[in-house]
Amino acid sequence: MCNYHSQSQKSTGKKSYAKNVKDDSINWRPISGLTGLEEALTLEKFVNRELISLAGQAKFHRDPHAKLVIEAEMEHQVDIIKEIADLVTRLRQYPPNKDYELGEYLLDRELSK
């Protein structure tokens, strides 16, 4: 998308502005797989909200081509969110103190294949 954006910017003469987005809510301590996936899900949902906002800006500025590209990326983002949400659901099915480590191991093993 970055290369496309550069080419689009050159051809249309429009400028874009990037800002650094830092999520201070993430505490990088040793965490379980479930906590890591929940943090990843939160981050992916944030990215999706920003893409929705960006698509709105493209529509406001009457840039249908940019809107189309952003919407295609949003579809991909929704697939990622569903995939992570499914993994979170599967890990939550294991009791925290009893079989959680086994569930995390089995899920990790399945994902490595």
Distance CA 61, CA 39 (A): 33
Distance CA 40, CA 37 (A): 5
Tokens of 27: 């505490």
Amino acid at 13: G
- Residue 50 annotated in ligand binding: no
- Residue 7 annotated in ligand binding: no
Tokens of 102: 């086994």
Annotated binding site: 44, 77
Which parts are annotated binding residues for Fe cation? 44, 77
